[in-house]
Amino acid sequence: LNLILNRLFGVNLVEISMHSTESWSNHVTKYELNHESEGTLGYIYLDLYPRQGKYMHAAHFTVLCGRDRSYQSLSYQLPVVALVCNFQNGIRLEFHELETLFHEFGHALHSLLSRSKFQHLSGTRTALDFVEIPSHLFELFVHDFRVLQLFARDENTHEVLDESRFHQVMKKNDLFCAMNLQNQVLYSAVDLAFHSEYTTSQWSNDCGSIYSELQQKFTRIVPQSSDVYSHSILAHLGGYSTGYYTYLYAKVFAAQIWNEVF
């Protein structure tokens, strides 16, 4: 990460010590984000590996938003964020785990590099249509051989990743991409349906039936029985209520930025 951060933004992550009561686990590390001329820009906690009782998914959490405090004759309030993941094999990451790390770190950078007058407009506290753009954009770096060859090594020989192996990995990663796209459209439609006003003449009151009907409409997958409750896997039905579509929406902007800039 530091290789990319330094080349793109002139910043580096530097591990720093914590107060004895500051961390929620002895597996957590703390870093400050330093700019070569502007100094410290913010702080990030990394909690990357699983343990009993820990949150089971991957996410970026804002601990403290950045904000202007000049009206109080104080310096800018530096943002503090936490990155929580569950990588199973330590520093040996599978490709999908590397994508997850870069995706969530894109969110973290959004918060750490943001400078705003009001804390409720800081970083990821932006319009929902755009909140996923930095994360999807940063994720694209692991799809580029120019980037992976800087740090990717064979776990046994420690040889640098060669281009033929890279293309094999990408080919495998792109399997069923059309089906995955259909599923994202389905999840977006389900999210909108569950959080919209529909009369019983349009939908049954059974969430499973709604999911099955939309699955038949938007995908080529054989609809499951309405009593399977496939919608229960959609963790973002809560925090992203009516906004799940922004995942696909943001991918479009991220791809355009990538193609024009990188």
Residues labelled as active-site residues: 104
Structure tokens at 239: 């925090």
The residue type of 89 is: N
In b/e form, how buried is each residue of 57-79, taking b as 16+ CB within 10 angstroms? ebebbbeebbbbeeeeeeeebbb
The candidate with the shortest Cα–Cα distance to 84, out of 49, 133, 134, is: 49
Q: 120 φ, ψ to 5°?
A: -80, 5
Instruction: Compute the chain's Rg from CA coordinates.
Output: 21
Structure tokens at 73: 């004759």
Please check whether residue 15 is in contact with residue 30, taking contact to mean a CB–CB distance below 8 angstroms. Answer: yes
In this structure, the chain runs to a length of 262
Name the CA dihedral angle for 65, 68, 73, 78, rounded to a multiple of 10 degrees. 40
